[in-house]
Structure 1
């Protein structure tokens, strides 16, 4: 007995005992918490119930036992799904003592999909679909054709029993219902006979208004879209939708009926119709047939012998509306081309290539839980079959249309099958582009000219399907496939088959592959140009938000990938550099002599120093912890100082600034030192007008000796440059600024820890350590390490 607890002023009982627990039996839990099983009780949940019933019939088709499904929308609001599959088992299940029909429709997590034998690839995995729909229906009738008989059973809100309908031709959930006594099996009634070789299942249900809210509405368009999609994914499966609620409205001119001959070509249709184009954007597809409407009992000729007008491509035209009599709306769907037909249907715009098809089968190992003879679960290593079926095509468009499925379950979030396909396809395209770079006009030396996945996806229409037993999904919604073994299988098949297509090695694909590659490379160039345009806007905004130093001679915007900032020593060198530079991508910033030694200075001193502040502002990426290299306005920062001791000192001071406050510039190799020459040798004789440049006294002596040995005359007055200002524009361009002829020294920081010790030692406030370092290393002095 439960103890009686005290009650608070609000009436709440304080005690908590076993009597406080509620046990929901059978399908009562589904009715109590329907959202756990169908998501919501609005329109989405209403449609989900229909998908569960249809998917059970589709699973029969996937098992090869069904090729015809009929969905009927009755005038009383009920929905009926009929198939010619094997029929729900009618014999008794030994553990429960119930017929197979009652087990399937009243027991959660019950069905043949757990045994791994009757079904090898299914959409439903949890065994709750039919029973959940039963629980959430005010009435559900089921009829099964097996063994030459038609069996029937009826349910009210998930409970088995029998209805007493006043008019058997018009059943109603309001008819009197006699419920089977609890704990007893409900006998299957034999209500008729059926052809002995015919099997199938018919389920008709009325959704329960006590469960679904007032906003729940049935969507006919969702039904048609889902049925059409399924007909693509299960080639050869005919699905018919009959809407008895619709009378003739004169709007059926958009509909048509195609039938297929053995070759898979459109052959016959309804009665002749006037020459007109479709208005709804749908169309028949190559290799399959889509039957979107047939008027029941009309004069079209039910045997399909009536001729039908066609376009130049042989496709049938829409039926003309016939308002002479009322009729049901009937739409049939049948495709024999599978995913190839699906891609053709999804393709909008001018095709760049034909539809490419990748398919195959492979096996993989997986550990799973099997139900043993004793009903217990046992871990077992099994070999799974994986069927891959992919169709793709590029069209002249920018958007991509990618649909992915596992069995017939849509996976809008992708998963392992999509990852395997995308990775392999992108890799194969990159390989071909690199191998044909010159033909495709791709500059492989430019790090930005690299094919990205978005370039490949532009204009791509693809349907990716795999069929496996017991797929593992990420989450309850089945949006993402998580079976990891599928990815390498899809990758290998794509590498092999798509690789042959995109390289043109497969017969008939060379010209198509060329057009596809041109499109992809074009998308790459467009992406790069768009990024440059964005950079132009960013540069413009940066210049507008903070005025640049007046002494900055900036380059033209739009060339950020190659833009160079020359930090020039002195105004005299600036004048020559202006005439020598290429203003399209080379900017100049002059500094006056030696800048502040930032190793000794405080932050306030640095920001107050005009030269340091100008450099930080012009680079445009901030400083210190806030430095963002992605915002840098130049790809190269080049220190262009005189080739003497003072010039070397200025470079050290600049490097100290970069190291302390813009270190990523050095770490990622964006800082350079220009290498101007020290001497110019004017050649004479037959080499008159030619010049040689040397960069040190030792090199000069060696070069003069070499000229003497080779008998080449030169003028004795060797020009020695005291500074960059002594060069004319042509000389400065040839030796120091023109990327085609100049020499640059990239500043590297191979050992950051050592650099962090050396900079404070050589540039810091402490004089004694620096003096000691110089004295101790004086004997190791190597003149060749001095860049003068």
Structure 2
């Protein structure tokens, strides 16, 4: 370091050098998210072609050698010479920042591409990139090494470390073969640069599949194929392949996202609006001039309300997801709240509303909605395109929502009237629940031992007020409760017994759940509320442990409890504070000769028991017959239950994780929901794996 600072200390990064020097500015990070962002850039270019009506199939292949290839059936990248640069269209697209066909030149009415840097950024951050274009009966090809065009000398399959010779005088777009008549498209294959990305950066197949499914919903008729040829792709050593194609559009997307029982059908709102904006326009002489241009914004919305309280909102601009919202989502949420608030006020007497006002969260509770707007040259905040900034879109979306909702509210059809009535009942009940929860939260405080009488009488509380150290055991049955009461450490372990199987909250409404004695008592014992009003900081216990028998009924009870926690106390699961106790299945008493005391060993599965007995035979040790198999917690004495299941020194707990909330939601809906057919199909497919000996009958 030196105190001197003059012009010769300044650096000017030309072209793609800036991308390689500061990749985070363009792709966010140099880990897996950045690697996936590069892939999205190439896929989105192919999707833009399909949206423009060119091509109906995209194939993404994760190659065995670490490369990835994207194939489309669009028009193909232009291969003629761009007059200003003297370079072919292929080279311009992949080597020049802010170059492309999406700056208002008429090639795309509305596209996800905006800044003209996607393909060139991917090229700059790739050790090798090969592109092939089918166009005009010929197949054109070009290769790049870290953004520089040239030729690789391949011996066999293409590889990134093959000898490379950059073009010296001028670049060459070579003709690699003939294309079938009428066939066009682009194939891009690249190897991410190990100098840029971290060693653990990898393409995420599940994330890719989720994005592909989402895009297929948004572009009806487009088929997207994802194929994973990597060695560890499939446990059986095969190739994973998933294909998506939908014709139902946003309505079908909403049905897929919805996991709860419907309150309304899927409603479609659509319309267009015009606005003007002043934008710099490229003139024939190369200069830029600020010009007023007329824009058309198309709005397409699908939404439905369900019995749950979770909100599933997906917003898009030209098929590109905007996870952080923007002006389009603001217009949607504000106008939806305004319209429902006005309708509730009209029906205030019937709904018994009083002076309370609907808030946005009341309206969004249980809502599943997909919003897509199509506009030329949208204003995003940054290259990652997570937030839409075009101001005029807010009022256009609001107008579409206003007209669509008024048409529903004033409809004379009996079905529409019934759905509107049920919707108003739902949002008003959400409002009343919010008001009640707020009043309850203001007066609620942690109950100590002297105040425990206000809690359910069957709760056997602990003495400690230290939430982080306390544990709540949910015990199945009175017999197990008696043993657990003697086995527990009363300083920090509380017991709450349940009788048999609680209500299936996946099918039941919120009102049914709250009126169910077992569910309401359990929510009261946890002490943090339920649903949207759940406050994890108010929870009375650091761990909630489900302790049920190791049989089919016990597993069913755990599933029912987990359904309750997942739907109404989900933050506990997300924080890793819900556990399942793992009681032993067998007790093996190993007999020792002479005065040496016998040894007691517990096993937790039939496989573990078989392995233990084989080990004892090998050591010529004997054990007491018959081996005790525990069918329930009540068969253990207090010392055994404490040593194996409750004492922190020797117990085994299984933490309930929720790595993927959406996947968990679909599983719970399949196992516990109203639709019988998917559950029946699941049972039939898995019947062959069932061990008849496991059935306790």
TM-score, normalised with respect to structure 1: 0.55
1:648-659 map, 5 Å: none
Equivalent residue for 2:171, pick from 186, 192, 198: 186
2:334 is aligned with 1:423? yes
Structure 2 counterpart of 1:376: 287
- Measure the CA separation in 2 of the matches of 1:409 and 1:234: 11
1:621-700 map, 5 Å: none
Is the alpha carbon distance of 1:45 and 1:248 closer, same or farther for their aligned partners in structure 2, counting shifts above 3 Å?
A: closer
Kept in 1: contact 2:104–2:377 (CA 8 A): no
Structure 2 counterpart of 1:413: 324
Deviation, structure 1 residue 441:
2.7
1:572-628 CA-partner distances (Å, limit 9, x unpaired) = xxxxxxxxxxxxxxxxxxxxxxxxxxxxxxxxxxxxxxxxxxxxxxxxxxxxxxxxx
- Measure the CA separation in 2 of the matches of 1:520 and 1:504: 19
1:700-711 map, 5 Å: none
1:239-388 map, 5 Å: 239-245=224-230, 249=234, 327-388=238-299
Structure 1 counterpart of 2:371: 464
1:297-329 CA-partner distances (Å, limit 9, x unpaired) = xxxxxxxxxxxxxxxxxxxxxxxxxx7xx6422
Structure 2 counterpart of 1:494: 401
1:103-252 map, 5 Å: 103-167=92-156, 170-181=157-168, 184-245=169-230, 249=234
Structure 1 counterpart of 2:31: 42
Structure 2 counterpart of 1:522: 429
Is the alpha carbon distance of 1:438 and 1:93 closer, same or farther for their aligned partners in structure 2, counting shifts above 3 Å?
A: same
Is the alpha carbon distance of 1:479 and 1:247 closer, same or farther for their aligned partners in structure 2, counting shifts above 3 Å?
A: closer
- Measure the CA separation in 2 of the matches of 1:146 and 1:477: 31
1:377-427 CA-partner distances (Å, limit 9, x unpaired) = 111111111010111111111111111111122222222111211122112
Partner SS, residue 478 of structure 1: coil
- Measure the CA separation in 2 of the matches of 1:85 and 1:110: 19
- Measure the CA separation in 1 of the matches of 2:437 and 2:5: 67
Deviation, structure 1 residue 222:
1.1
Structure 2 counterpart of 1:433: 344
Q: Which moved more, 1:56-65 or 1:494-503?
A: 494-503
1:726-745 map, 5 Å: none
Kept in 2: contact 1:97–1:185 (CA 8 A): no
Kept in 1: contact 2:128–2:191 (CA 8 A): yes
Point out the structure with max Rg over C-alpha.
Answer: 1
1:324-382 CA-partner distances (Å, limit 9, x unpaired) = xx642211111112111111111011111110110112211111111111121111111
- Measure the CA separation in 2 of the matches of 1:57 and 1:508: 41
* CA-atom RMSD in angstroms: 2.2
- Measure the CA separation in 1 of the matches of 2:315 and 2:206: 21
1:752-775 CA-partner distances (Å, limit 9, x unpaired) = xxxxxxxxxxxxxxxxxxxxxxxx
Structure 1 counterpart of 2:86: 97
Partner SS, residue 112 of structure 1: coil
2:46 is aligned with 1:66? no
Deviation, structure 1 residue 477:
3.9
- Measure the CA separation in 2 of the matches of 1:539 and 1:105: 62
2:364 is aligned with 1:453? no
Deviation, structure 1 residue 492:
1.2
Is the alpha carbon distance of 1:147 and 1:423 closer, same or farther for their aligned partners in structure 2, counting shifts above 3 Å?
A: same
- Measure the CA separation in 1 of the matches of 2:232 and 2:37: 26
- Measure the CA separation in 2 of the matches of 1:246 and 1:224: 18
- Measure the CA separation in 2 of the matches of 1:540 and 1:171: 69
Deviation, structure 1 residue 160:
0.4
Is the alpha carbon distance of 1:455 and 1:13 closer, same or farther for their aligned partners in structure 2, counting shifts above 3 Å?
A: closer
Structure 2 counterpart of 1:484: 391
Deviation, structure 1 residue 533:
1.7
1:750-769 map, 5 Å: none
- Measure the CA separation in 1 of the matches of 2:437 and 2:3: 68
Unaligned residue ranges in structure 2 (runs of 5+): 452-697
- Measure the CA separation in 2 of the matches of 1:249 and 1:474: 39
Partner SS, residue 113 of structure 1: coil
- Measure the CA separation in 1 of the matches of 2:363 and 2:301: 16
- Measure the CA separation in 1 of the matches of 2:332 and 2:233: 47
Deviation, structure 1 residue 435:
1.6
- Measure the CA separation in 2 of the matches of 1:97 and 1:219: 39
- Measure the CA separation in 1 of the matches of 2:233 and 2:253: 30
- Measure the CA separation in 2 of the matches of 1:336 and 1:246: 34
Kept in 2: contact 1:503–1:513 (CA 8 A): no
Is the alpha carbon distance of 1:105 and 1:222 closer, same or farther for their aligned partners in structure 2, counting shifts above 3 Å?
A: same
1:100-124 CA-partner distances (Å, limit 9, x unpaired) = 0011111111111113411121112
Is the alpha carbon distance of 1:505 and 1:492 closer, same or farther for their aligned partners in structure 2, counting shifts above 3 Å?
A: farther
1:259-288 CA-partner distances (Å, limit 9, x unpaired) = xxxxxxxxxxxxxxxxxxxxxxxxxxxxxx
Structure 1 counterpart of 2:68: 79
